[in-house]
Amino acid sequence: MFVWAAVYKVYHLVDTNTVSPSTLLAAGKELVLFQHESHLYYLHIVLLVYAFLPLTRLLTCRGSKRLVEYFLLLWFALGIFYPTVIHFWPFRLLSGIPLQWRMNMTWAAIGYGVLGYYLKRYPIKKRWAVASLAVGFAMVFGLTVRFSLNKGVLDTQFWEGMSVGVCLMAAGIFALFYAVPASSVPACLTSGARFLAKASFCVYLCHMLFLSIFRNLGMDANWPTPLVGIPLLAGLTFLASLLVYGILSKIPGVKHWLI
């Protein structure tokens, strides 16, 4: 986390031509105070998920199915549903302690690990997985479009990781992939999936770097039109990040500890 945060700090100083002892010192202070590149918030979440593994493993290994379901019910109600609806009537009329019932997004992420265990241990039928994915996508896409058009600006609240639509999509996608027997997947796809799985963390870590570089080159999601610019920018960023992974994965220490 600190290494990649430092990479972004140095990049922005070089990009703005403001490298000096004072700016480097200020960047160092920001590193210590966790003022990092915005997308690195995910690393904090991962740290907490791993920190709670002894407890969540105890729940999944020793707890009954009903106890795990009770945990998931509480998690969904307070960590997914409530944060999604709290800004809408009648929930927005609440004040005081009830506002603190909802789980912070960082802590709510822990529940996804337990949900993954449950879907593996007690698989749902494919039609329910498809329904969960379809309903989730309809909520994320449909509500984002509606509220964005009403406000005149992009409204991102319905694609937050701890929102109902995203949770339903995640559950549906996970259940569908888990339902596919490994023996039915062609070897070429299996090897490709393994490569992408290994590269995905590096892609996440460095993709913001390339988005900034392409933006400086005059390329953004609106160039030349959003219909072309969005997939073009996504594709170029993905390929550039894969190239970085291909290079860094050849360096032993970096391969095992930084990507």
Q: Which of 80, 77, 66 is nearest to 166 (CA)?
A: 80
| pLDDT of the residue at 76 | 97
**Residue 116 pLDDT exceeds 90:** yes
User: Is residue 208 within 8 Å of 234, Cβ to Cβ?
Assistant: no
- DSSP letters, 190-239, are HHHHHHHHHHHHHHHHHHHHHHHHHHHTT--TTSS-HHHHHHHHHHHHHH
| pLDDT of the residue at 105 | 87
Phi (first) and psi of residue 73, to 5 degrees: -65, -45
- 31 — pLDDT class (breaks 50, 70, 90): very high
Instruction: Note the pLDDT tens digit of each residue in 184-228.
Output: 778 778 888 889 999 999 999 999 999 999 999 988 888 888 899
**Residue 43 pLDDT exceeds 90:** yes
What percent of the chain shows pLDDT beyond 90?
A: 86
Chain mean pLDDT for the chain: 93
Instruction: Note the pLDDT tens digit of each residue in 155-180.
Output: 999 999 999 999 999 999 999 988 88
Phi (first) and psi of residue 58, to 5 degrees: -60, -40
Q: Rounded CA gap, 108 and 57, in Å? A: 16
What pTM was computed for the model?
0.87
Instruction: Note the pLDDT tens digit of each residue in 51-76.
Output: 999 999 999 999 999 999 999 999 99
Tell me the average pLDDT across 17-36.
95
| pLDDT of the residue at 189 | 81
User: Is residue 71 within 8 Å of 59, Cβ to Cβ?
Assistant: yes
CB count, 10 Å around CB of 257?
8
| pLDDT of the residue at 180 | 83
